[in-house]
Amino acid sequence: MTPLSFSSYQKTATWENLGILKEVRFKASLSGGKGGQNVNKVSTKIELYWTPAESKLIEEEVKEVLLTKLAAKLSQEGELRIVCEEDRSQLKNKEKATEKFYKLITACFKVQKKRKATKPTKSSVTKRLEGKSKQKTIKANRRKPEL
């Protein structure tokens, strides 16, 4: 598969159409932080778990790209974990967690632009050389005079 065919995986809609959320596991737990008495009663914190290596919806080449790019974010079991506890609502946290998930996956397929080497401008070169010569004269004036 060429890198050009990976371009379709840069869109969230592609992942949504694949139905990748069927392979995702959600876990709700008690959240810390704001919410008052609600914090102790309602499980609003959402944890999203997904194992890319075990995915049946994506091809092997796509899996390889995901596994290499997400290597730092995967646990020892090869599982991706995204936590969201920003809102007081479980539903909002679930939506935000899925949004983070899609952003993370689509970012794996973005191709970085090659860096173009540039030369310093004439004015910046002369400015640098002038600064060096000023520093040279300052340091020369610090020396003891020769007799």
Give domain status of residue 144, yes or no: no
In-domain check, residue 137: no
In a domain, 57, yes or no: yes
Asked whether residue 1 carries a pLDDT value surpassing 50, the answer given is no
Q: Give me the number of domains the chain comprises.
A: 1
Q: What mean pLDDT is predicted for residues 69-76?
A: 89
Tell me what pLDDT residue 32 has: 74
The CATH code of the domain that includes 61 is 3.30.160.20
Give the pLDDT of residue 2.
45
> Cα 103 to chain center, whole Å?
8
- Give me the mean pLDDT over the 122-129 stretch: 97
Instruction: Establish if 29 belongs to a structural domain.
Output: yes
pTM for this entry: 0.70
| Lowest mean pLDDT segment, chosen from 25-39, 49-63, 95-109 | 25-39
Residue 59 forms part of a structural domain: yes
Name the band, by pLDDT with cuts 50, 70 and 90, for residue 3. Answer: very low
**Which of these, 29, 31, 67, 28, lies nearest to 50 by C-alpha position?**
67
pLDDT(134) > 90: yes
Q: Is residue 10 part of a domain?
A: yes
Average pLDDT of the chain, as a whole number: 86
**Which range among 9-23, 70-84, 129-143 shows the weakest confidence by mean pLDDT?**
9-23
The dihedral of CA 139, 140, 145, 147: what is its sign?
positive
Confidence of residue 33 (pLDDT cuts 50, 70, 90): low
In a domain, 142, yes or no: no
Residue 61 maps to a domain: yes
CA 120 to chain CA centroid, Å, is 32
CB atoms within 10 A of CB 10: 15
Average pLDDT of span 77-98: 90
Domain that holds residue 45: 3-107
